[in-house]
A and B are shown apart, each in its own frame.
Chain A
Amino acid sequence: MNRPIRTLAVFCLLLFGALMVNATVIQYVDAGELNANPSNRRVVDATFSRERGDILVGREPIARSVPSDDEFEYQREYLAPFRYAHVSGYFSYFSQTGIERTQNSVLSGDDSRLFVTRLVDMVSNSEPVGGSVELTLDDGAQTAAYEGLEALGPSTQGSVVAIEPSTGKVLAMVSSPSFDTNRFADHDFGRLNDTFEELDAREDEPLLNRAIQTTLPPGSTFKIVTAAAALEQGIATAADDPVPGGPSYQLPLTDISVENGGRDCGSGDIPFTQAMEQSCNTTFLALADQIGVEDMQEQAEKFGFNSEYLEDLPLQAESRYPGTLDEPQTALSGIGQSDVAATPLQMAMVAAGIANDGVVMKPYLVDEVRSPDLDVLDRTDPSELSEATSPETAEVITQMMVNTVSVGTATPAAIPGIDVAGKTGTAESAPGRPPYAWFVSFAPAEDPQVAVAVLVEAPGGQQEIAGGTLGGPISRAVTEAVIDQ
């Protein structure tokens, strides 16, 4: 009977060998994959309990983790929940948005740049701690922008973006209405779910980051792009060069006539700067028609249309300049109507590009990544997105925009003692909807430190929609906050 027993011993060896191989597959080979599974509660809970790094603005935290006495060890806390809601985003058990999402690996401590820290944690057997992220935002500018929109009424729908032209640093990014990010850091998941459903159902969409997710016709602010194209094409070369003017303009191939809303646009040819100061529709319709759809599109794309450029926030919408416009549509695109649509960030980049001698810098929000001990691990270097115009073109447009603020339609943005370059816009969208108010500016004109774009979709109070009166003061407040430092 010994032979079969020995055979059985070999058989048992195979059985146990199979068990060992299988255990190795689960615990070693597949372990990474299993840990990455989003429904793996162990990993999700452990990450959620972890002491997450701070999100800093000017060395002060706007989001931090504090010890918690419930089943999770730490509670995320936002110190300026409404003002920074759309940039910081929120860190909830079920989802993350904004910087909390794009910088998750740093904040949670899993980033490869934190390798040494993690190694020390492992050796000393302490829980991993996340690194912190310093944003480019300027608290003064952000506060001015937020309070400016708030001042228009509690349910104002709008957005403000401010950029440092020479670097592309985003100095302010506000979307209104805002929401309390602390409600999303809730450890009571039932209530958390209610919060999400309540905010998600609201018609004024507080969860939407209008600065990068809403694309609307930019209206007259787009005339900067049309002017840039005209100057680059040599149709005009200086602020005083003659361009077509007149009280009305008939769209090519149609019998539709467009006028100037009562502003003085002369008759026949007028100086380019007057067309800009008075925001003459007739001039820019004619110029866009003359430039043609291809060159218009090329110019728009040089400023960033039809592409994505912001890596630090998720779900960015592309601004549009379609290449399929027919002749009347092309003419209309010259005044920012027809199928042209831009985000507030995009219009801020147009202003910043002109301010920076025609060079558009790539916008960014994350300035520095730091270890838990606050050692700087990584710093974002400014990079060029594109050369939108020649320095000469930029200078001519700057001059015309300065005139627009000093004597033209954008006077509400003027700051005594500083040359502000600005452009208003009032765009119509669907019939029946109120028009949108736009305002873009940069200052000081000779050495620009900040470019601002303001969009007001629907003001809270009963105010007349006009880019200058709604956007101008906000733009001025943001500019002053930056320059005063």
Chain B
Amino acid sequence: MSQADSGPQVVHRRRRGAELFLLVVALLVGLGAYAAVGLGMEGTIPADMLTYGGWLTVMVAACHVVVRFVAPWADPVLLPVVAALNGLGLAVIHRLDLTYGELGQKDDYAQQQLIWMTLGVVLFLATLLVLRDHRTLQRFTYTSGLLAILLLLLPLMPVIGTEINGARIWINVAGFSFQPGEIAKVLLVVAFAGYLVLHRDALALAGKRLLFVDLPRGRDLGPILGMWLISLGILVFQRDLGSSLLFFGLFLVMLYVATERPGWLVVGGTLFAAGAFAGYQAFGHVRQRFDLWLDPFEYYGEGTNDLGRQSVETQFGMGWGGLIGRGFGNGRPELIPYANSDFIFAAIGEELGLTAVMALLVCYGLIVERGLRTAVTCRDGFGKLVATGLAITFALQVFVVVGGVTGLIPLTGLTTPFLSYGGSSLVANWVIAALLLRISDQARRPLPSMLGTEPDPAPDAEETQVVKL
């Protein structure tokens, strides 16, 4: 991509001050929620408010300072949105911990999540510090592809692989359980981007036209078939519908962006439909998910297998929450199984209402939009593909999990980014955030030739970002 076809050259401003202001707002969201949990559940501000608040502030400040120094041109919205989501997620997990504690169940999820968040932030900082130019990653195309497949295979290994709730996507090493698929997600984006940026011409130009659709050449179908098989493999051997859908959708979308040929979407969509139909026919658990989706009330209550409980309790809870929610401590989110991980959106809908649900969806939308904007402004093909891939991963994951929880689509197990309890997902998402910031830093940074002619930053003259539509 040369700058010629990306329209008039836009000179971005750093906007680090704006980021700092938004980060303060984000901290207020997280800490306010934490205080509200204490007030709602126990009537007082939590005793550890200062230490907890101090720790979150230190982490956020560290992120800001590092971004200011090593990625000064990075997008100013991404980090505050991520911080706000993570802070709110911690508060909600803590709120559920208090109830789980009363019920005599395990109640240290928030503590663990805070540790994972710290690790996530450390990796975020490390990524920004070590990776000064995202194009370096292109060198590791095949390495990361291989590593991703290896990671995906890990849970199938004896001894370390563990099966939880029917899905074999966990490994257990030295007492720590981890979902390697979450890391594989990032590596796959890098691998796809590296592969596609090299082969996009062949994939894009050869082929024939059939019924107004440009269909690809037979031999070029190799990679897509390979990816399709890997997705099916995940579905069959790991019984993980969500990841299977995510990986395949991700690959398809990146292929479409690289080649600009909607024909790939047709081919991929057909393959997906075929795979889904075959899965429905062949596997009981897929069929069951589908039936549960159609009528969860049929599988709820006495005299049934009660598999619809999650979905039905989610609907009851969200309905009870209504527009403004019951308030922290006044709902019954503990009635929803896995309310602190996959179903955290339901817990938020119950206690914080449709208002918070809408706000969170807008936050997620912002992350996706910022990611795609980075892709559009990015100057190199590899960066464009990686940014698109990461943004789309995010969008698909949010859609699959929130849609599944709220009954829009059949339920598949995936975590809600930054909100759900779950270390692997949290860490992986912080790395994704770091990669997006790094690419956006490159994309928004003025070209060296223009640095000298950078106009004086007139305080009132905010440049309009011209984007070709």
Residues of A that sit less than 8 Å from B by CB: 1-6, 8-9, 12-13, 15-16, 18-20, 22-24, 26-28, 30-35, 37, 39-43, 45
Contact = CB atoms under 8 A, between A and B. Distances in A.
Nearest to B408: A22
Contact of A23 (B256, B257, B316, B349): B349
10 contacts: A1-B1, A5-B376, A15-B399, A16-B361, A19-B402, A27-B349, A28-B354, A30-B319, A31-B318, A34-B319
B256 A4 contact: yes
B332 A3 contact: no
Interface in B157-207: none
B285 to A, nearest CB: 24
B280 interface: no
Given A1-B384, A6-B469, A27-B353, A18 B257 contact: no
Contacts of B353: 27
Contact of B260 (A3, A19, A27): A3
B315 A26 contact: yes
Contact of A16 (B5, B335, B364): B364
Given A16-B399, A22-B408, A28-B322, 15 more contacts: A1-B257, A1-B388, A2-B376, A4-B257, A5-B372, A5-B375, A9-B372, A15-B399, A16-B365, A19-B398, A20-B361, A26-B349, A39-B300, A40-B320, A41-B332
A273 B312 CA distance: 70
Interface residues of B, number: 52
Contact of B357 (A12, A18, A23, A34): A23
Given A3-B260, A4-B260, A5-B388, A20 B320 contact: no
B424 interface: no
A294 B136 CA distance: 103
Given A2-B6, A19-B399, A23-B406, A8 B316 contact: no
B148 to A, nearest CB: 22
Nearest to A4: B257
B368 interface: yes
A26 B407 contact: yes
Main secondary structure on chain B at its contact with chain A?
helix
A16 B399 CA distance: 7
Contacts of B358: 20, 23
A24 B408 contact: no
B354 to A, nearest CB: 4
B369 A35 contact: no
Interface string B391-408: 110010011001100111
Contact of A19 (B253, B257, B301, B403): B403
Contacts of A24: 354
Contacts of B369: 9, 12
A33 B385 CA distance: 46
Counting chain B CB atoms within 10 Å of each CB, which of A23, A34, A37 scores highest? A23
A5 B322 contact: no
B381 interface: yes
A12 B395 CA distance: 7
B365 A12 contact: yes
B384 A5 contact: yes
B80 interface: no
A5 B316 contact: no
Given A1-B385, A42-B335, A45-B332, A19 B408 contact: yes
Contacts of B87: none
A27 B323 contact: yes
B202 to A, nearest CB: 16
B408 A18 contact: yes
Nearest to B320: A42
A23 B361 contact: yes
A43 B402 contact: no
Given A1-B384, A19-B408, A12 B372 contact: yes
B317 interface: yes
B468 interface: yes
B98 interface: no
B309 to A, nearest CB: 11
Contacts of A5: 257, 372, 375-376, 384, 388
B320 A34 contact: yes
